[in-house]
Amino acid sequence: MGGWGRYNGVEVIIKTTIIIVASLAFTAVGAYAYVYELDRSFPTPGPNPRGCWGGGGFPLYIVQDGAAPIVYRVSQSGQVLSSFPCPGGPGAWGIALYKYNYFYITNHETSWFYQTTTGSLISSFLGPLPNPADLCNRFYDYLYVAYPHQNLIGLINPTTGSLLSTLAGPGTEPTACGPNSGAWFIADAGTHAVYEYGVPVVTGIGAPTGFDSLEIGRGPWTEEFYVVDDATDRVLVYSNVTAVEPASLGRVKALYR
């Protein structure tokens, strides 16, 4: 159970369920893959959109890269509600709210991670692997980071900056990930798809660069997810139609091109 609230002026999901993560590896045993349809879409504030965080009927935070990268807080129709500058300069990509208090933002070019509130830098560390993309944190103590060039999802301790474990991507170029209490999602720019438990549930996305998901029901799990498409400069919102249990939920491993 859970709901939405505000922490330090940021609208967040308050989750009362305690989630314990033993390792990064996920399993298909007892898991469901869903059939998803495009529910709606809206334009990003400008070109070069990257990572995102939020959604679910509430504002979405979108990173826009450029000479002076900016984080935009937008409505469900794409209207800009507020913004703040990204630390670190050009190369800004991933964004995730950590412990409901502040954001972590990645820089794809320098591999640095920045801990920030809406404009104020708190701390930073050099990531353990080069060229991080989008990341996520919802309900966990660690950061899950997509590494496109290595075809990996990394589990990082933000306190020490150390790499705890890695998971091979289901495609070729993972650019974003979104663990939720009901599913494991990975967006992949190389295959133009979004995977749930290693199964491609949405295909044909031009350049997925950002992702976030939201559990909106139970019995069976109901999911809604947001994909930032750099190819069209739009946010695509998908929701599941029905649950299916595929014959195989194995990961498809491929070499990075």
pLDDT at 178: 86
Q: In this structure, is the dihedral angle defined by the CA atoms of residues 102, 41, 206 and 25, taken in order, positive or negative?
A: positive
Domain assignment present for 44? yes
More confident residue, 45 or 214: 45
Distance, in Å, from the CA atom of 82 to the CA atom of 80, rounded to the nearest integer, reads 6
Strands 208-217 and 10-15: unpaired
Per-residue model confidence as pLDDT tens digits over 170-201:
999 999 998 765 568 999 999 999 998 899 99
Domain assignment present for 16? no
pLDDT at 221: 53
Per-residue model confidence as pLDDT tens digits over 146-169:
999 999 999 999 999 999 999 999
Please state the rounded mean pLDDT for residues 126-150.
92
Tokens 């170029």 sit at which residue? Answer: 173
Pick from 27, 77, 79, 23: nearest CA to 184: 27
Q: 16 with 208: CB under 8 angstroms? A: no
Q: How many CA atoms lie less than 13 Å away from 96 in the CB half-sphere?
A: 30
- Alpha carbon 60 to its chain's center: 12
Domain assignment present for 8? no
Please state the rounded mean pLDDT for residues 131-136.
97
Q: 61 with 52: CB under 8 angstroms? A: yes
Domain assignment present for 251? no
Please state the rounded mean pLDDT for residues 208-214.
92
Per-residue model confidence as pLDDT tens digits over 37-71:
999 999 999 999 999 999 777 789 999 999 999 99
Q: 208 with 190: CB under 8 angstroms? A: no
Mean pLDDT of the chain: 81
Domain assignment present for 182? yes
Q: 65 with 92: CB under 8 angstroms? A: yes
What CATH number is attached to the domain comprising 108? 2.130.10.10
pLDDT at 137: 86
More confident residue, 83 or 141: 83
Strands 112-116 and 121-126: antiparallel
Distance, in Å, from the CA atom of 210 to the CA atom of 105, rounded to the nearest integer, reads 12
Distance, in Å, from the CA atom of 106 to the CA atom of 119, rounded to the nearest integer, reads 15
Pick from 171, 170, 98: nearest CA to 141: 98
Three-state DSSP class for 247?
Answer: coil
Distance, in Å, from the CA atom of 229 to the CA atom of 226, rounded to the nearest integer, reads 10
Domain assignment present for 252? no
- In the chain, the number of structural domains is 1
Distance, in Å, from the CA atom of 49 to the CA atom of 235, rounded to the nearest integer, reads 9
| Concatenated DSSP letters of 25-78 | ----TT--EEEEEEEEEEE-SSSSEEEEEE-TTS-EEEEE-SSS-EEEEE-TT-
- Residue 176 per-residue DSSP state: E
Domain assignment present for 52? yes
Q: 238 with 227: CB under 8 angstroms? A: yes
Range of the domain at 179: 38-244
Domain assignment present for 7? no
Rounded CA Rg of the chain? 16
